[in-house]
Structure 1
Amino acid sequence: MKGIVFVELIRMAEAVLGEEVVDEILDEAVLETDGAFSAVGNYPCKELLTIVEAVGARTGVPVEALHVQFGHWMFDRFVDGYPAFFEGKTDGFHMLESIEDEVHVEVRKLYPEVELPRFDTERLPDGRFKMVYDSERPLHHFCKGLIESCMAHFNQAVHLDMRDYTANGRYTAEFLIQKAA
């Protein structure tokens, strides 16, 4: 997993808890890296999960909720750092449709070794939008936060339903999104 994700998780935690508390959390957590991450490095996903669990234990916030909050945080970083991906997108659905065939294509050009989740999207006849997350990494709640922030970015009020179909080491979640009336 790219180091930028770790760096941003630590920044988010520091914004909420302060640098000293985050340093304590990282010192107490059992991490192969000892909590030293660079934005350009590659690190095991389990390190990210360990940090989120440690922050959750310290704050009392459920891990799933922290993943969603982190998804919100990262979406803002994507908007700031990669504005070209958002150009010409008419709404949140259009943006979500572009992840697999546009955004991930560009990410793979820059980082051929990166392991990305698979996203399948479909506009349903009843006006709903379906997005399926599939990965070996348990980051479907993080994905939920990204989706929520994407829709808010495009000023779209929606109802979001997440169904978890995780089985046999594959993390799969279906997101059904309906524009609010």
Structure 2
Amino acid sequence: MVEEQFSPEVADRMIEAANVPSGGAYTAVGTYSHEEMLALIGELSRLTEVPVPQLVRAYGRHLFRRFTQLYPSFFDGVPTAFDFLSRIENHVHLEVRKLYPDAELPRFDTPEADVRHWVMVYESRRPFAARAEGLIEGCLAHYGENAELTTTGLSEPGLTRVRFDIVRRA
């Protein structure tokens, strides 16, 4: 994403300045400390003067596009964004756990849902609610949904919780 949206040079400078333990070498089958991602994002923000939450949301949108390319079966027979979002916890995360048994995935609860208004509550020990917001934005864009997304912070020490309200526009 950094190479595409900024440049390969910015990506190299970000990795070098972050001085992460992995040296910036990642594989699709590996699991990495979220602190590395935070360090990389912090450096990218410093280099580009784009606020961290904005970068993390952009990464979430990018990540959703990558998911549609890498895992098209997740989207087969799923006609709307709300239908897809309803499958995250019990379908998508189930499949992710098969591939990455050690992955620490966030939890998504859907306490309220109807055809026009969808509520999702994100919960994680990691501070990546902005990534979840970007993923939801990417999902809405993928399905061509005309919807308004609002967030309400519900975090407490050691736990990131955010309520996402997604309201379809007429």
Classify the TM-score, shorter chain: over 0.9
* Structure 2 residue 68 is the aligned partner of structure 1 residue 79: yes
* Identity level (%): 39
Distance 1:156 1:89 in 2: 13
Aligned pairs for 1:81-120 (under 5 A) are 81-120=70-109
The CA deviation string for residues 104-153 of structure 1, in whole angstroms up to 9 with x for no partner, is 11111222111111011244469310001100111100100110111111
Distance 2:110 2:158 in 1: 22
Alignment of 1:32-181 (within 5 A): 32-124=21-113, 127-181=116-170
1:123–1:106 distance in 2 versus 1, CA, 3 Å: same
Contact 2:149/2:167 (CA < 8 Å) preserved in 1? yes
Aligned to 1:130, what secondary structure does the other structure show?
Answer: strand
Q: What is the letter of the counterpart of residue 61 of structure 2? A: H
**Is the partner of 2:86 in helix, strand or coil?**
helix
**Unpaired segments ≥5 residues, structure 2:** none
- Work out which of the residue numbers 10, 22, 26 in structure 1 matches 2:15: 26
**Which consecutive residues of structure 1, in runs of 5 or more, have no partner in the other structure?**
1-11
Aligned CA distance change for structure 1 residues 125 and 105 (closer, same or farther; 3 Å): closer
> Contact (CA 8 Å) 2:29, 2:100: kept in 1 or not?
no
The CA RMSD measured in Å over matched residues stands at 1.4
TM-score (norm 1): 0.89
Preserved contact between residue 145 and residue 168 of structure 2 (Cα < 8 Å): yes
Conservation of the 8 A alpha-carbon contact between 1:52 and 1:63: yes
Q: Which amino acid aligns with 1:46?
A: E
How does the TM-score come out when normalised to structure 2?
Answer: 0.95
CA contact (8 A) 2:10 2:47 kept: no
